[in-house]
Structure 1
Amino acid sequence: MSVMSEKEKNGCRRLLELLPVEDLLALKDTVTNRLISVESPSEAIEAIVAYSQSAEELLKRRKVHRDIIFKYLAKEGVAAPPNTEKLHLIWRALALWSSDNVIPFQDTLNDSSACCSEGPDGLADLTALGKEFCRWFFQLLNSLNHTAGQPVQDWGPQHFWGDVRLFILSYTGEQQRDEYHGAELVSRRLSALVWEEKLVFCPNLEHSGLKCLSTPHGLVLVAVAGTIHRENVCLGIFEQVFGLIRDPLDGNRWKMKFVHLKIKGQLGAEQLPVLTYESNDMLQLFTT
């Protein structure tokens, strides 16, 4: 049965409405193995959404043609060049469904009801926190890319601890390692990636692309893998690890204490990028 989020389900429903009826019914038969009968296109859509294993699996179906995804994204205000490949359109749709809500991260996670005594740091669900943080962070960062057509959000040093450290490792040709210290400098360097270099970061928030853990001292580590784009070109993949700590002097807000960004070359296989960090790897990034 489907494990899609509500945003993914709603997005898939709107996209499936663009399919011709004959393709819609054929897709329903494939997804349900002809075990479900329907009497209307709307029932067919509900059956497809209910019995698809994931949004990515559904979008990769042959009946969900590239042109349908392109048309859906255009209706949602996501511009893409007409020659964009289907795989890249799929990434854009998944990114849209996983990052269309910016504000709730700090609001919901600052609420005391978001915590309980189930973990060493009092957090009930680290994965939910990690997903919400990544949706918030990448929507905020990508909004600085003026070619993406999104309103610029409230990016700035206020989201970082004053002594934050940023490490950027690049494996595009020659290996390069850069390090930055301080909220103002780290904020400016990250914003330059999208403002000046016109990059767009698309995180993979499925299970294979996200890992979260916490320490007894209140540090939460969120690791995520994703793809990096410039306009219609996929430049490569990234893995990013964030170290988050609450600031009791600023409304108990989560702020970034460490950021480790690894950028690799072109994506080889036609699949969403997979996180390679193990838990020990994540801890060692900020303890050595």
Structure 2
Amino acid sequence: MSKPSEVERAGFRKILSLMPKSDVLSLSDTVTNKLIVVENTKEATEAIITFTKNAEEFLRRKKVNRDLIFKFLVKEGVVMPPNSEKHQLVKRTLELWSSAKGQDMVDETRQKPIETASDSRDVKVEVGFDPLVLGQQFCQWFFQLLNSQNSLLGQQPQDWGPQHFWPDAKLRLLSLTGSEQMDEFLGAELVSLRLLALTREEHLLFSPNLEPHGVRALASPHGLVLVAVAGTIHRDAACLGIFEQIFGLIRSPLENNSWKIKFINLKIRGQDALGGTEVTAPALSYNSSELELLCS
């Protein structure tokens, strides 16, 4: 079988960086049959990557446990049900690495044209950007940031707050869970707090579908970029339903042209409202024409 691809090797490094030093050194001994002597985690990481036959072999190692793969996927913006078994997480990771999104991961490590890392304050994009690339990277950054506020994940909460929104930001929240309820929130502080409550108090977990049928983006001549995304919502082991979310993004010239959120339209549909519809990887119901109306 062919050696691991560049995408897979980049993934190996990310997973190994989440491991305790002792486990990385131990895994290096296992993979190399103790024929290679290493002195630190950097050397151990390179030895593991060099002597690993393929991605599946790496992921099925005992040291690469279920919790480690789950944590890696969450950091990549791929949220699986918390009760997923290891073989399901392995399958999803292999799919990630074989997808175009996986290639973006390699491009990101090479030249970082788009900053969406957890320590970035906002999303930044170079001149001449592709709106769809921005949309995918923005969604990965946003939901990783929002989900980190959910204490059930056991993650360190990232820097959530009104600084990611314009002062006059607006949130329209439509909930179809038994009955229909529409709420609107105006101002960066209120919008930020309401979204925060979804994950911190209600313990919801948002899993965006970043495949082509799950995300769309377009840019207006006036500087507004619309990003629409669909996904599933979870709490503990239960899938509660699906969501569709539209973001309006505008650059902030006073903050290094970072993108900040101008408005959000969030529609949540519970299982009762879906009527047995498949919710594994929901597709957007919005088309380009409907998004163009929001740009006008």
Tell me the distance in 1 between the aligned counterparts of 2:258 and 2:292.
Answer: 22
Per the alignment, residue 121 of structure 1 pairs with: none
- The answer (yes or no) to whether the contact 2:70–2:89 under 8 Å persists in 1 is no
TM-score (normalizing by structure 1): 0.66
Per the alignment, residue 138 of structure 1 pairs with: 143
Aligned residue identity for 1:197: E
Residue 183 of structure 1: how far off its partner (Å): 0.4
**For 1:187-220, what per-residue CA distance to the aligned partner results, in whole angstroms no more than 9, with x for missing partners?**
0000000011000111111111110100000000
Per the alignment, residue 56 of structure 1 pairs with: none
The reply to whether residue 222 of structure 1 matches residue 227 of structure 2 is yes
The reply to whether residue 277 of structure 1 matches residue 282 of structure 2 is no
Per the alignment, residue 148 of structure 1 pairs with: 153
Per the alignment, residue 60 of structure 1 pairs with: none
Tell me the distance in 1 between the aligned counterparts of 2:164 and 2:82.
Answer: 37
Selected match of 1:106 from 119, 122, 129 = 122
Aligned residue identity for 1:153: Q
Q: What is the Cα-based RMSD across aligned positions, in Å?
A: 4.0
Unpaired runs of 5+ residues, structure 2, are: 16-26, 28-50, 75-79, 106-115
Aligned residues: 230
Aligned residue identity for 2:137: E
Unpaired runs of 5+ residues, structure 1, are: 18-40, 50-63, 117-123
Tell me the distance in 2 between the aligned counterparts of 1:95 and 1:231.
Answer: 23
Change (3 A) 1:183 1:104: closer
Tell me the distance in 1 between the aligned counterparts of 2:123 and 2:232.
Answer: 28
Aligned residue identity for 1:206: E
Residue 230 of structure 1: how far off its partner (Å): 0.5
Selected match of 2:127 from 111, 115, 121 = 115
Aligned residue identity for 1:262: K
% identity of equivalent residues: 47
Answer with 192-201 or 125-134: which moved more: 125-134
**For 1:74-97, what per-residue CA distance to the aligned partner results, in whole angstroms no more than 9, with x for missing partners?**
134649999647998589868999
Instruction: Write the mapping of 1:1-288 to structure 2, written as runs, cut at 5 A.
Output: 6=7, 10=11, 42-43=52-53, 45=54, 72-76=65-69, 78=71, 84=84, 101-103=117-119, 106=122, 108-109=124-125, 114-116=126-128, 124-266=129-271, 268-269=277-278, 271-285=280-294
Residue 102 of structure 1: how far off its partner (Å): 2.3
- The answer (yes or no) to whether the contact 2:123–2:259 under 8 Å persists in 1 is no
